[in-house]
């Protein structure tokens, strides 16, 4: 077995080349799959895992609003459905809450019932979409957790020219190429 060490340097320098990718004791490793699982189990838990606590009011506020919208539409759907059932059951002694109001015909009650049913179903679909969005947000945040956003991001544009060597094997022998060089430092 042969071990190769650089001529100038110590064993610590070589080991540091391989140990730089290992997280230090106080450094936290964020795993995107774990963030997705946490967010799927309990909405907002993936955001807590990613240490994005400021997103919790948005997550729970969104779920509260969507739950309110679902319950409101469901309650009104049941209200108009009950009124329609009482009106069409054939029992002269059953009276619905809209009895005596000429604006609420059977067709109007059916239209209101369908309107609120569609609203309830739409709210359930929006809630499922919002749930998926919270999971996606947790995963994206986990992937971008170590993204460098330092002040040392810069773009440098400079003129560029290149002399093609006369003995080179390219088609531009002896010519000069001119252009712009863009360098991104991050």
Of residues 160, 84, 76, 56, the one with CA closest to residue 118: 76
Contact status, residue 110 vs residue 96, Cβ threshold 8 Å: no
Query: What residue has token string 């991104």?
Result: 184
Q: CA-to-CA distance for 166 and 170, rounded, in angstroms? A: 9
pLDDT category at 133 given cuts 50, 70, 90 is very high
User: Quick one: pLDDT at residue 128?
Assistant: 98
Confidence of residue 185 (pLDDT cuts 50, 70, 90): confident
Check residues 48 and 6 and name the one with the higher pLDDT: 48
Distances from the Cα of 145 to the Cα of 35, 129, 185, angstroms: 11, 24, 20
Residues 161-175: tens digit of each pLDDT: 777 666 656 666 667
Residue 91 has pLDDT above 90, yes or no: no
- pLDDT tens for each residue of 43-87: 999 999 999 999 999 999 999 999 999 999 999 999 999 999 998
pTM summary value:
0.65
């Amino acid at each position: 077995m042969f071990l190769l060490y650089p001529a100038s340097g110590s064993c610590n320098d070589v080991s540091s080349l391989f140990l730089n990718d290992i997280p230090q004791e106080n450094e936290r490793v964020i795993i995107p799959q774990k963030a997705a699982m946490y967010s799927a189990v309990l909405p907002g838990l993936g955001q807590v895992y990613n240490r994005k606590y400021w997103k919790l009011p948005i997550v729970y506020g969104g779920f509260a609003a969507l739950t309110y919208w679902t319950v409101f539409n469901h309650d009104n759907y049941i209200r108009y459905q009950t009124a329609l059932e009482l009106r069409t059951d054939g029992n002269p002694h059953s009276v619905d809450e809209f009895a005596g109001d000429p604006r609420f015909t059977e067709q109007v009650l059916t239209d209101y019932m369908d309107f609120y049913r569609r609203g309830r179903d739409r709210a359930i679909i929006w809630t499922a979409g919002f749930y998926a969005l919270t999971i996606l947000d947790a995963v994206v945040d986990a992937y971008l957790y170590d993204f460098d956003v330092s002040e040392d991001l810069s773009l440098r544009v400079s003129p560029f020219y290149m002399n093609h060597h006369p003995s080179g094997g390219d088609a531009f022998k002896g010519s000069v190429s001119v252009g712009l060089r863009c360098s991104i430092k991050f």
